[in-house]
Amino acid sequence: MQDLEKVYKIAEEYKMQGNLLKALKEYNRILDKNPDNINAQINLADTYYILGEIDKSIEHYENVIELKPNYELILYRLGISYFRATKFYKAISVLDRVIKLDPDLYMAYYWQGLSYYHIGKVRKSIESYKKLREKGKDSTLGYYHLAISYKTIGNYKEAINCFEQILKEEQNIVSVNYHLGLSYLEISKIEKALLCFKKVLEIDSEHQGAKDILGNLSTDQEMLYTFGIEESKSDENMEALITNYHIGEAYKGFSGIDRAFKYFRKKLNEKQKGSNND
């Protein structure tokens, strides 16, 4: 027994020093003499996980669960390992067990939501992320992945609400601003979308997605009609007004975007009033 404790201490020292391969060797020495040593099994699993050898980490986490079926922390780590190994159905099943043992372990809902998303069960992922938001109210991850899931199934208004909640706390998140812009585009809120993509490029001037979208919008007259002036397509005078305002420059530089949209709204209102008077 004393020999095993000595070996375990040596293994721990190697692990603390970052010498993980030597630590693995020592933990395996312990298991050679005592296969049911839970601490050695856990440390082997954790070390293999750090080294990226996920299948081996799963093997040892499973060994621990055979010895102690309701070991909540290890079930949780096993669920994450299954996710990392793209064994999504197993991850969902194990994380269900974790949630039953501790419904307040909100990160279990996060990994479960990711697993559902990866097998195409997006509405189930939304349920998980809602639970994550309920249990971990300060979780930005909850809002972000909930928003992405809403966006995936076409619930753009719900996605926008979630993205905007995140931006209330932190405005300079590239992915949030980018996906918010995409969501606004889907519901034809062009002005707001453009401002989102502008923000993306302020944070990351090399963001190719935002650059491509802005390039397309700034050269495509059709985007103006998407904003809400579809009926002006056949009106040559309205076309002339738009062209004379140099809309391409306004969008590319953004310096005149607010004035540009006020101008379009004013002209649209005038046009609509004129139609009503007729």
**Res. 269 pLDDT band, cuts 50 70 90:** low
Q: ∠ CA(170), CA(171), CA(172), 5° rounding? A: 100
pLDDT at site 251: 44
pTM for this structure? 0.77
Residue 205, SS3 per DSSP:
coil
Residue 61 is assigned to a structural domain of this protein:
yes
pLDDT per residue as tens digits for the range 26-70: 888 888 888 888 988 998 999 999 899 999 999 999 999 999 999
Q: Which of 68, 98, 124 is the last residue before a domain boundary?
A: 68
3-state helix, strand, coil in the chain (%, to 5): 80, 0, 20
Gap between the Cα atoms of 16 and 36, Å rounded: 23
Residue 139 is assigned to a structural domain of this protein:
no
Residue 145 is assigned to a structural domain of this protein:
no
For a pLDDT cut of 90, what percent of the chain falls above it?
A: 50
How many other C-beta atoms can be found within 10 angstroms of the C-beta atom of residue 150? Answer: 22
pLDDT per residue as tens digits for the range 213-243: 877 765 554 444 444 443 344 444 444 444 4
Which one is predicted more confidently, 8 or 97?
A: 97
Residue 162 is assigned to a structural domain of this protein:
no
With b for 16 or more beta-carbon neighbours within 10 A and e for fewer, the 161-200 pattern comes to: ebbebbbeeeeebbebbbbbbbbbbeeebbeebbbbbbbb
pLDDT at site 230: 37
Average pLDDT over residues 244-271: 52
Residue 135 is assigned to a structural domain of this protein:
no
Residue 86 is assigned to a structural domain of this protein:
no
Which residue segment(s) compose the domain that 35 sits in? 1-68
